[in-house]
Amino acid sequence: MRGKQNTEFLSRLPTFISIGGAIIFVGLLVWLTVTSFLPFGCPPNCQGADLSQRDLVGQDFSNADLRNADLSDQFLGGVSLTGADLRGANLQGADLRGIDLRGVQLDGATRIDTKWRLVWDIVNNGVEGRDLHYADLYSADLAEANLRGANLQGADLNWAYLYQADLRGANLQGANLLFAYLEETKFDETTNVESKWRLIADLMSHGGQGRDLSGADLSYANMVSVDLREANLRGADLRESRLDDANLAGAKLQGAKLSGADMFGVNLHQAQLQGANMDTTLNGVDLTGAFYNGDTIWSEGFDPLEAGAKTETP
């Protein structure tokens, strides 16, 4: 699709141009060719290919042969590498944040940053009981990883994707779990983890409809699409949390702190917002029938009445 789009773009450029324009045109054509088009047959056959200057965002290299390929310093956002053969490949400096490395083949000749080799080892071999204290696992995709009994004391798991990861018996004392995705993450009574993150994992896994969460610390949490309908969140701290597409219809949010929270698509229909700090971007938020008062704080220029909220209490 990308090649087709670029072909259509180039076909619209003028045929008759000045010499100066021709230089620009040729330079643009060369740049587009070098950066946008992949070598013929790649994927799946990318063996030895120099991909270091290509636009790879969103490319699907699942099960591709990338042996001895050069992906150094590449931003690989949205790239699928599941099952790819990267033996002998150069991935030094490559940005592998959020990339699923399960089933990927590496060997001793693969040049890859220490952090990402560790992530690869975790998701493919498991690290049950291993000492990973202060490990850098920032933005790592650790879905379904076996981390049972691992020592993750002080580890950086900020923005880590821990869907269905097994952390039973693990030591997470002092670990950074800000914005970590904790849906169906497996904790047990022997997991040493701050109660805040245990609660967030529970809410992400089972929802919090109608629950009493008054005064709860839910700040800097990744709670995208969480179900908190009619929950009691009076005085709760939700600052900077990711709440996109969350359902907070009918929730009691009096005095709650939501400043800086990501709230695109949030349902606040008939929510109680009296005294809440709503100083954040509210684009796409459903505020119809929500109640607020003079103590409710809104971002500058935001008109709650225009958004469907009401000042009177029920």
- Count the neighbouring beta carbons within 10 Å of the beta carbon of residue 196: 16
Q: Is the pLDDT assigned to residue 12 strictly greater than 80?
A: no
Q: Is the pLDDT assigned to residue 31 strictly greater than 60?
A: no
Which tokens hold the place of 44? 């799946």
The number of folded domains in the chain is 2
Identify whether 268 is part of a domain: yes
- 43 Cβ contact partners less than 8 Å away, ≥ 6 residues apart: 59, 60, 61, 62, 64
Identify whether 161 is part of a domain: no
Identify whether 59 is part of a domain: no
CATH number for the domain that contains residue 223: 2.160.20.80
pLDDT of residue 312: 66
Three-state SS at 107:
coil
Domain coverage including residue 230:
207-314
pLDDT of residue 231: 99
Identify whether 88 is part of a domain: no
pLDDT of residue 174: 98
pLDDT of residue 314: 53
Identify whether 9 is part of a domain: yes
The pTM for the full model equals 0.85
| Residue 36 pLDDT level (bands cut at 50, 70, 90) | low
Q: Taking a C-beta distance cutoff of 8 angstroms, is the pair 141, 123 a contact?
A: yes
User: What element of type H or E holds 32?
Assistant: helix 19-36
Q: Is the pLDDT assigned to residue 3 strictly greater than 80?
A: no
Which tokens hold the place of 290? 């929500």
Q: Taking a C-beta distance cutoff of 8 angstroms, is the pair 231, 251 a contact?
A: yes
